[in-house]
């Protein structure tokens, strides 16, 4: 939906772009470790955060703190949300503690990693999440995840849409399998509830831990993005009706900011970027988390993407849209030594509450498009240690944590 465009600062100098690139490379050298081919929040967040720390002076200068003032009071001109307004009266019990206040939520169904996810469980999730948001971000299309979510949305008749995902690995077999399963979901449920397909999540960031280079990983990622766009065009050409106009679906990618800034080939390949920004691993306290994240996106990422845009001035092509792909705060840790961030803030419910109060309604008012990370705790991430499994608004058993959900509309 349309939002009011904010005036952006002028594009930064080449010197600043060089500093960002150098900071990212330094972070890689310090923090990369052998990977296991699975999503690793710890590794990706740490690398992003070190980049943020090294340019924090620039961020502070560019910050517009007033747009992120603290408080969860309602406000703004959104058409969805406030209380349960976005999805009320749908034939299932409503929870008065939940309010449809989030622009979007990051969501991975229980059992999505080992393919034990069930329709009944996903439907129960949608009963809860439809009271919090109208948009979900998914990460992969294997294990029938996309179809399970779309079936639940259809069965409940709730106002929700998704950004589907294709999780990229170095092998083509995984990609082809996910495309086939996504095809099934799109043919079964149409495209009306699919706002985009995100090809890759931090594939570039994790390249060094796979023994790859950023350059090689970028080439492979772009090839998958272009292949999927071609696939959608071909599917549309063979489809008999507008309900299956697959080529209308935007195709983007998601990564930490430092991995794509300055790469014109990637910028020109996508319709949107989902930028994952986590203040937890930066030199910022939980009180500073909201303004740090907003400032980084608006005063660093957006200007650099604009400066990198390779199209001529008179081109009708549009810059990729930017979303905050992840933002949140953990509530617990599996290791006490890893439960305090570099600025001295703890993983905890009090801290998450402050982050929610600072972020949600202010972001809705200023038009930030974001996916709060995340809906549920994910116990499978215990293998990574620290705070990794503790980012949910709900515990894994669907119990809401001891927090107050802000109450305000979103677009």
Omega before residue 374 within 30° of 0, cis: yes
Please report, to the nearest 10 degrees, the dihedral formed by the alpha carbons of residues 291, 296, 302, 308 taken in order.
Answer: 170
CATH 1.10.3720.10 for the 14-308+317-410 domain, yes or no: no
Q: What is the pTM of this model?
A: 0.82
30 burial level (CB within 10 Å; 0-12, 13-18, 19+): exposed
| pLDDT tens digits in sequence order for the chain, 411 residues long | 333 333 323 333 333 333 333 333 333 333 233 333 344 444 444 444 444 444 444 333 333 333 333 333 333 334 576 666 556 546 899 999 999 999 999 999 999 999 999 999 999 999 999 999 999 999 999 999 999 999 999 999 999 999 999 999 999 999 999 999 999 999 999 999 999 999 999 999 999 999 999 999 999 999 999 999 999 999 998 877 766 789 999 999 999 977 887 788 999 999 999 999 999 988 999 999 999 999 999 999 999 888 888 777 666 667 889 999 999 999 999 999 999 999 999 999 999 999 999 999 999 999 999 999 999 999 999 999 999 999 999 999 999 999 999 999 999
Which sequence spans correspond to the domains of the chain? Answer: 14-308+317-410
Q: How far, CA to CA in Å, does 81 sit from each of 97, 122, 149, 177, 225?
A: 13, 22, 21, 36, 33
Q: How many angstroms separate the CA atoms of 359 and 374, rounded?
A: 14
């Amino acid at each position: 939906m349309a939002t009011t465009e904010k005036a952006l600062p002028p594009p930064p100098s080449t010197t600043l772009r060089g500093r960002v690139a150098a900071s990212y490379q330094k972070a890689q050298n310090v923090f990369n470790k052998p990977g296991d081919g699975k999503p690793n929040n710890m590794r990706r967040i740490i690398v992003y955060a070190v980049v943020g720390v090294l340019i924090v002076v620039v961020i502070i200068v560019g910050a517009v703190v007033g747009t992120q003032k603290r408080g969860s009071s309602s406000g703004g001109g959104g058409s969805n949300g406030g209380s349960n307004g976005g999805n009320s009266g749908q034939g299932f019990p409503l929870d008065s503690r939940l309010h449809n206040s989030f622009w979007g939520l990051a969501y991975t169904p229980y059992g999505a990693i080992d393919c034990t996810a069930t329709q009944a469980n996903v439907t129960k999730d949608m009963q809860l999440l439809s009271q919090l948001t109208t948009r979900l971000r998914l990460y992969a299309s294997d294990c029938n995840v996309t179809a399970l979510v779309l079936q639940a949305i259809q069965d409940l008749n709730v106002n929700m849409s998704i950004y589907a995902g294709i999780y990229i690995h170095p092998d083509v077999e995984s990609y082809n399998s996910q495309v086939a399963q996504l095809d099934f979901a799109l043919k079964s449920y149409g495209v009306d509830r699919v706002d985009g397909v995100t090809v890759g999540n931090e594939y570039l960031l994790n390249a060094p831990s796979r023994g790859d280079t950023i350059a090689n990983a970028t080439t492979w990622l772009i090839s998958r993005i272009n292949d999927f766009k071609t696939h959608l065009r071909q599917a549309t050409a063979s489809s008999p009706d507008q309900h299956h106009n697959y080529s209308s679906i935007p195709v983007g990618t998601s990564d930490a900011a430092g991995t794509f800034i300055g790469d014109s080939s990637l910028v020109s390949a996508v319709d949107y970027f989902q930028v994952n920004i986590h203040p937890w691993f930066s030199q910022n306290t939980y009180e500073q988390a909201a303004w740090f994240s907003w400032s980084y996106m608006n005063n660093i990422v957006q200007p650099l993407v604009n400066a990198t845009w390779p199209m001529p001035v008179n081109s009708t092509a549009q810059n990729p849209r930017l979303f905050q792909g992840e933002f949140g705060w953990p509530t617990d840790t599996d290791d006490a030594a890893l439960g305090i961030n570099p600025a001295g803030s703890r993983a905890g419910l009090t801290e998450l509450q402050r982050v929610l109060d600072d972020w949600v309604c202010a972001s809705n008012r200023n038009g930030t498009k974001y996916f709060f990370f995340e809906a549920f705790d994910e116990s499978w991430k215990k293998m990574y240690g620290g705070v990794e499994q503790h980012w949910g608004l709900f515990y894994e058993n669907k119990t809401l944590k001891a927090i107050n959900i802000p109450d305000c509309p979103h677009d």
